[in-house]
Amino acid sequence: MASKPVVAYFHDEDVANFHYGQRHPMKPHRLALTHSLVLNYGLHEKMQVYRPYRATADDIGMFHSKDYVRYLQRPTLKDGSKFLIGTGHDCPLFEGLFDFCSMYTGASLEGARKLNHKQCDIAINWSGGLHHAKKFEASGFCYVNDIVIAILELLKYHPRVLYIDIDIHHGDGVEEAFFTTDRVMTVSFHKFGDQFFPGTGNIFEIGEGRGKYYSVNVPLKNGIDGDTYLRIFKPTMTKVIERYQPSAIVLQCGADSLGLDRLGCFNMTIESHGACVDFIKSFNLPTLILGGGGYTIRNVARCWTYETGLLVGAELSNEIPFGEYFPFFGPDFSLHPDMSTSFENENTKEYVDRLLAQIDLHLKQIEAVPSVMMQEIPSDGLLHDLIHARKEEEKDKNADERFPQSERDKHIKPDNEFE
């Protein structure tokens, strides 16, 4: 990776318009706040900005079962319970469900493909990172596991992919998908215990078969602050990367691990959350950056904007720039507000030392740089779609008089997009 990495940023303005329900904590509108801050800080001038590809049913079927994909295309309340969607479940049925999934999954998939083809060094999709979805069902506000699909795409070109999860919730859907393989190592830092969702991710959950010891879980207690978190995160990730030597990284940046999150119980600041992102960036490996949880939406937007700044090497003013969502960030209108909570840090020095020792013991069991027999690379679905679109345009007798959609989408941004 170059000293100044090429950063590709994916945003579909429509993805923020979906609504889980009035009282539901997941608010896609947080993506509009984030994108507005990114623009108002001028970060779009330091990145390649794309309106992303929208995933097809075939793309989603790379991981999810045919029955489940068919349901997502034509969802009904009657059949929803079979897939844990609808009344009585944490994944509601809402209008445009498949379009929503298509948008956030397509952005992650296109980010992976651009990394595969060395068209960027870092790809950012804040709408992605929905890590709980399972092969046959929805879970934890997540319908399609865009992370698994993006990793499957990366595996076409990369022998080993490292997945890192700093959401407060265990990355169970991703871990489960790769639990028996050594081609993907999953590392999740999360709250564990007290019946906290999803209830998985204890330190002895390490993988099975060829995947034994390639699932690393870091169970944390209430109230962890930034200094304690980084004391665990940095040495753990240093050892993982030295031992595993991945050729690509996927980093899920769930912002519910921040202090004052509506569903959280940690004391992380935006600065310490961002320090994790900056630390992973320092390894100079092709990296896909994704969103995830985060339910105090003004702080989600602050966090992901700050981290976008870190990824492009920009220093951001602590004063929130004026924009359409400026009132959301009151009363202080700062990028780094006080995020202290009443949660006491239960992660004592003794607990952290035992945690690090056990993780180190597990890592010593794995084969350093597992060997992989690479096969012929399957074709990219996106490339196939573009070729098909061009053929259709050639058939049109007026093709020379119009600017086709597939060509428009190749442009980083229209001249007037950010005026």
Annotated binding site for substrate: 90, 140, 295
| Element housing 312 (H / E) | helix 297-312
Question: Distance between CA 144 and CA 156 in Å, rounded?
Answer: 20
Give 37's Cβ-side CA count (13 Å radius).
Answer: 31
Q: Of these residues, 11, 44, 132, 170, which one is catalytic?
A: 132
User: Would you call 132 a catalytic residue per the annotation?
Assistant: yes
Look at residues 164, 170, 243 and name the one whose alpha carbon lies nearest to residue 200: 170
Write the secondary structure of 220-265 as one string of H (helix), E (strand) and C (coil): ECCCCEHHHHHHHHHHHHHHHHHHHCCCEEEEECCHHHECCCCCCC
Measured CA to CA, the distance from residue 329 to residue 142 in angstroms comes to 27
Instruction: Give the C-alpha separation, 92 to 349, whole Å.
Output: 41
Give the distance from CA 221 to its chain's centroid. 23
Distance CA 285, CA 115 (A): 10
Q: Which residue bears the tokens 């399972």?
A: 134
Give the whole-angstrom CA distance, residue 160 versus residue 202. 24
**What residues form the annotated binding site?**
90, 140, 167, 169, 256, 295
* Cβ atoms of 216 and 187 closer than 8 Å: yes
Annotated binding site for a divalent metal cation: 167, 169, 256
Chain centroid to Cα 391, Å, comes to 34
First to last CA, the chain: 32
In angstroms, the CA 11 to CA 102 distance is 13
Q: Which of 149, 144, 105 is nearest to 125 (CA)?
A: 105
**Whether the Cβ atoms of residue 278 and residue 317 lie closer than 8 Å to each other:** no
Close Cβ partners of 161 (under 8 Å, ≥ 6 residues apart) = 151, 154, 155, 183, 184, 185, 246, 247, 248, 249, 250
Give me Rg for the CA atoms of the chain. Answer: 21
Q: Which residues are CB-neighbours of 182 under 8 A, at least 6 positions away?
A: 160, 210, 211, 214, 366, 367, 370
Active-site residue set: 132
